[in-house]
Amino acid sequence: MPELPEVETVRKALEKAVINKKIIDIYHGNKGLRFPFPYQFKQRVIGKTILKPRRIGKYCILPLNSKQKILLHLGMSGKVRILDKKPKLGNHDHMLINLEDEIYILLTDPRRFGFVDLIEGKERNNKFIKKLGPEALSSGFTGKYFYSLVKNKERNIKSILLDQSIVAGLGNIYVNEVLFITGISPKRKGKNISLRKCFNLVKNIKALLLSAIKEGGTTIKDHLQPDGKLGYFKIKLRVYGKTKSKCFICGFLIKEIKQLGRTSFYCGKCQS
């Protein structure tokens, strides 16, 4: 599932391929993904040039020279491929952008939880962007800020970290990992987490995301060849998906529970 580091990897790959390229044509399916494709999407962006791709949380933004911006969210299973010839579209290929110089950007999304929007006007007024809290790697996401939001919350820390209006960019994998690294149980209520723990948590979140981006960055070349596929790199997972494996710190077996329909993995001894 694409989280902040995976989306950043996609953004970097797109930056190399699409910057200053003109949009020649767009195909998209009629069914839409999580939401329908933007109204008259093709007519509105054809002939425009893509500027430097950016990222906010799990959103990739392709600014155009017209001040419009294409907003891309990869949902649960979205993948972007950059190709040098027109592909034959499969069942799960939902959008194909044809750029000048025979460059094709293909969006594939089997589970169709991703979506595409077109921003006209101010980005921060966009209905998706305006709901986002500070981006996990930004200077606005600090231990003090995080503590001010969790200290009165009855909700568990797992759901707080997944809430994009509190911090943008984290998903189930990195939340499981960072709670393990910080020694906090996913069941712990927000109000029971100290300021000191909040500082540690924020520090560990940033370090984990940066190291994952770095790892993605080192394999980025492979993503573009031979078929242009942008894969997701394997991070070294400590607890995610490790049910009944031994905790590598204490040797206890890793437990698995469901929280809000998402699986949590944790060590009952190292995390409290």
Active site residues: 2-3, 58, 262
Shortest Å, Cβ 244 to Zn ion: 13
Shortest Å, Cβ 247 to Zn ion: 3
Antiparallel, parallel or unpaired: β 93-99 and 54-56: unpaired
- 184 binding Zn ion? (CB under 5 A): no
User: How many residues form the binding site for Zn ion (CB under 5 A)?
Assistant: 7
Distance CA 190, CA 159 (A): 9
Given the rule CB under 5 A, which of 34-42, 63-71, 232-240, 261-269 is the region that contacts Zn ion?
A: 261-269
CB 13 within 8 A of CB 53: no
* 26-65 footprint of Zn ion as x/- string (CB under 5 A): ----------------------------------------
Of 219 and 272, CB closest to Zn ion: 272
Of 181, 214, 208, 165, give the one whose Cα is nearest residue 57. Answer: 165
Residue among 172, 175, 247, 264 that touches Zn ion (CB under 5 A): 247
Q: Which residues, other chains included, contact 178 with Cβ-Cβ below 8 Å and sequence gap of 6+?
A: 161, 170, 201, 204, 205, 208
Residue among 19, 249, 257, 260 that touches Zn ion (CB under 5 A): 249
- 269 binding Zn ion? (CB under 5 A): yes
Residue among 46, 250, 257, 260 that touches Zn ion (CB under 5 A): 250
- 246 binding Zn ion? (CB under 5 A): no
CB 152 within 8 A of CB 185: no
Shortest Å, Cβ 197 to Zn ion: 17
Q: Which residues, other chains included, contact 87 with Cβ-Cβ below 8 Å and sequence gap of 6+?
A: 81, 93, 96, 104, 106
Of 220, 159, 233, 185, give the one whose Cα is nearest residue 3. Answer: 233
The residue with its CB nearest to Zn ion is 247
Given the rule CB under 5 A, which of 63-71, 176-184, 211-219, 252-260 is the region that contacts Zn ion?
A: 252-260
Given the rule CB under 5 A, which of 72-80, 125-133, 186-194, 248-256 is the region that contacts Zn ion?
A: 248-256
49, β-bridge pairs? 22
- 267 binding Zn ion? (CB under 5 A): yes
CA distances from 227 to 54, 106, 148, 230, 242 (A): 24, 12, 47, 9, 31
Of 201 and 213, CB closest to Zn ion: 201
Of 178 and 270, CB closest to Zn ion: 270
Of 61 and 239, CB closest to Zn ion: 239
CA distances from 24 to 17, 43, 45, 106, 235 (A): 15, 11, 9, 14, 36
Q: What is the Cα gyration radius of the chain?
A: 20
3-state DSSP helix/strand/coil % of the chain, to nearest 5: 30, 25, 45
- Count, residues in the chain: 272
Of 98 and 176, CB closest to Zn ion: 176
Of 26 and 247, CB closest to Zn ion: 247
| Contact residues: Zn ion, CB under 5 A | 247, 249-250, 252, 267, 269-270
